[in-house]
Chains A and B, each alone.
Chain A
Amino acid sequence: MKIQIVKQGGNKVKTAGNVCPWLVDIGIDTPKQ
């Protein structure tokens, strides 16, 4: 049965949330550690 992994599941907390994706977000992720 074919299962092709496009993206592994991960720790969402570390990636969640820019300043404000709805209104004022800079639109660019801040560099991670």
Chain B
Amino acid sequence: MQPSMFNVRVPLEDRNDVFLMNTFTDAQLIVAREVADLLDRLEAGPRQPWTAAEREALATLTEHGFIVESREADHRKLDEYFRAIREDQEQLRVTVLTTLQCNFACDYCIQGDHGDYNKHAARMSLDTAAAVAAWAEGRLDALAPASFVLTFFGGEPLLNMPVLYYLSERLWRACHARGVQFHINIITNGLLLTPEMVDRLLPFGLNAVKITLDGDRDTHNRMRPLRGGQGTFDRIVDNVRRIAGRCRISIGGNFDEESVDSYPALLDFLRGQDFADKLSRVAFKPVIRERRAETPKGVIPLTAVGAEGRPLSGTCMTSAGGGTSICDSCNFLDDKMSFLRDETKKRGFATVDGVHMGPCEIHRRHAHTVGPDGSLYACPGFAGDDKHSTGHIDGREDASRARAAERFDAVAAWKACDDCAFIPVCAGGCTTAGHAEHGSLQAPSCHKASFEAGLVSLARDAARAAECELVD
């Protein structure tokens, strides 16, 4: 018997306790230091006679996965875990890019309303949407999942409402007829969002809308203007207010070294709004612009960026971030991520914990991204780039797509992560980021320091909650 490689711990300040987490089982404990020491003694071996109290503690630790048979057993379980995720049929997930067109001219994106991009950007036709629906119905019949999650993304997905309504309504009917739960998510810049749109989609399973605000009013208006330079902040906020309470709303944002300091003001602003308590989640991600040459080997961003400023395939850079590369040798990203998480929590908003990040959909066989022309992709980060298409909804035989499917089927960047304790919640990080930086689908996108920072926050929250529990 030995400690699991997935154990992580945080000594709790001002008390003689330690927060223990096993990232594989997700078990979380607050234990006396002597219990944590037991794990160290077990690691050091050889086996020693344990006291009755120690044996009892070891049994509890074993029950929660902190002690395993061997390192090989940990690796075996990890392989089984990823296999189970890959083959899981409980949920069918489809992300549809209704269009690659966008009505914004974000300063970190060369797509959207810049130049003549929109004139040539792909847009799904209703005929293709019908074919997408037929393909999805085929997947429902083949898998018989318990639920189906349809996510709309782009470009700006609301620029193609006929397709969005058509797919929502037809696939709701398809799920209803098959006894499958159906949920719709929309990732939008929020400019065209209306209560009427939300009300029309709610009976068909609208679950949540994610909207991006890149800092306070002035910063957002600078980062995410319309083509003519007009600001978009006021209108987006007004739209959020009008739909608040009708469906779940998630606020996202991309910060860089210049804009990050405006985020506390954005949080204050949001807290002061009448819809503040109706926001389901607020979470921000970094976009850092540094010269590629300064990027340390093996350190790549949480947000994927295209080399030399080119867009990442064809998907919206709102979420993918922008710039050219990342330098995190100064720990800027980890510090700021942690800072903004704390600031967000301080204002009473739910946010990500920074630890439970993955594995993402690229590791699931039954999660698909569909481009405007019906091409299939393993994840939104590769959508729009033909050479990364893994198939097509019409089932066409194509050697290039078959090779891409094989490549994506083999994605397991975490195998290069040795015995990292965060593998179960990271899986090697973002494949799009790893590929953008290293040109390989098998290159990990390592951001261990960010997970560690998240873990410290998680431990603090757990300690606070545990104290309240003891008081109660």
**Chain A residues with a Cβ under 8 A of chain B:** 1-10, 12-28, 30-31, 33
B462 touches A6 (CB 8 A): yes
Q: Cβ of A9 and Cβ of B25 under 8 Å apart?
A: yes
Q: Which of B303-326 contact A (CB under 8 A)?
A: 303-304, 315-316, 319-321
Given contacts A12-B25, A23-B319, contact A6 B30 (CB under 8 A): yes
- Please classify the interface of chain A as helix (H, G, I), strand (E, B), loop, or mixed, using the class held by over half of its residues: loop
- CB-defined A-B contacts under 8 Å, sample of 21: A2-B17, A3-B29, A3-B30, A3-B35, A3-B60, A4-B30, A6-B465, A17-B358, A17-B359, A19-B360, A22-B429, A22-B430, A22-B445, A23-B430, A24-B320, A25-B360, A27-B210, A27-B281, A28-B248, A31-B207, A33-B146
- Rounded to whole angstroms, the CA-CA distance of A1 and B315 in the bound complex is 53
The number of residues on chain B lying at the interface, defined by a beta carbon within 8 Å of a beta carbon of chain A, is 79
Q: Which of A1, A22, A23, A26 contacts B54 (CB 8 A)?
A: A1
Q: Are B302 and A3 in contact (CB under 8 A)?
A: no
Contact of B304 among A8, A14, A22 (CB under 8 A): A22
Contact flag A27-B380 (CB < 8 Å), given A9-B27, A10-B26, A17-B361: no
- Additional A-B contact list (4), CB under 8 Å, known A21-B360, A26-B185: A6-B30, A22-B445, A23-B321, A24-B381
Residue from A6, A10, A13, A24 having most chain B Cβ neighbours under 10 A:
A24
Contact B26 A20 (CB under 8 A): no
- In the complex, chain B residues whose CB is within 8 Å of the CB of A1: 31-32, 34-35, 38, 53-54, 56-57
Contact surface of B with A, Cβ cutoff 8 Å: 17, 19, 22, 24-32, 34-35, 38, 53-54, 56-57, 60-61, 64-65, 81, 84-85, 88, 90-91, 93, 95, 146-147, 149, 151, 153, 181, 183, 185, 187, 207-208, 210, 248, 250, 252, 280-281, 283, 302-304, 315-316, 319-321, 352, 356-361, 363-364, 367, 379-381, 424, 429-430, 432-433, 445, 462, 465-466
Give Cα distance in the complex from A9 to B151, angstroms.
29
Q: How far is the CA of A23 from the CA of B357 in the complex (A)?
A: 11
Distance A6 CA – B35 CA, assembled complex (angstroms): 15
Chain B residues near A14 (CB, 8 Å)?
90
User: Which residue of chain B lies nearest to A5 when distances are taken between CB atoms in the complex?
Assistant: B29
Q: How far, in angstroms, from A10 to B364 measured CA to CA in the complex?
A: 19
Residues of B near A17 (CB, < 8 A) are 85, 358-361, 363-364
- B88: contacting residue among A7, A13, A24, CB under 8 A: A13
Contact B283–A23 (Cβ < 8 Å): no
Tell me if B360 and A20 are in contact (CB < 8 A). yes
Knowing A17-B360, A19-B93, A22-B302, say if A9 contacts B65 (CB, 8 Å). Answer: yes
A20–B84 CA distance with the chains assembled, in angstroms: 18
Say how far B421's CB is from chain A's closest CB, in angstroms. 14
| CB pair A8 B27 closer than 8 Å | yes
Q: Please report whether the interface of chain B is mostly helix, strand, loop or mixed according to DSSP.
A: mixed
A25 to chain B, nearest CB (A): 8
Contact B187 A26 (CB under 8 A): yes
Instruction: List chain B residues, Cβ under 8 A from A3.
Output: 29-32, 35, 57, 60-61
| B280 CB contacts on chain A under 8 angstroms | 27-28
Residues of the B chain whose Cβ atoms lie less than 8 Å from the Cβ of A15: 26
Check A12 against B95 for contact (C-beta < 8 Å). no
Q: Are A7 and B27 in contact (CB under 8 A)?
A: yes
CB <8 Å contact, B26 and A22: no
A5 to B60, CA, bound (A): 10
Q: Bound state CA distance, A1 and B17, in angstroms?
A: 11
Bound CA span A18–B263, Å: 25
A-B pairs with the 3 shortest C-beta distances?
Answer: A9-B25, A9-B27, A22-B430
Q: B319: nearest residue on chain A (CB-CB)?
A: A24
Residues from chain B with a CB closer than 8 A to the CB of A24 are: 95, 153, 187, 315-316, 319-320, 380-381
Task: Specify which chain A residues have a CB less than 8 angstroms from the CB of B302 in the assembled complex.
Answer: 22
- Determine the distance from Cα of A12 to Cα of B22 in the docked complex, in whole angstroms: 11
Bound form: Cα–Cα A31–B301 in Å: 29
Give the residue name and chain of the B residue nearest to A7 (CB). B28
Q: How far is the CA of A16 from the CA of B35 in the complex (A)?
A: 29
Contact present for B81 and A9 (CB under 8 Å): no
Q: A3-B35, A9-B25, A27-B252 are in contact. Are A22 and B433 (CB under 8 A)?
A: yes
Residues of A within 8 A of B81 (CB): 12-13
Residues in chain B near residue A4, CB distance under 8 A = 29-31, 466
Set B85, B181, B316, B352: member contacting A27, Cβ < 8 A: B352
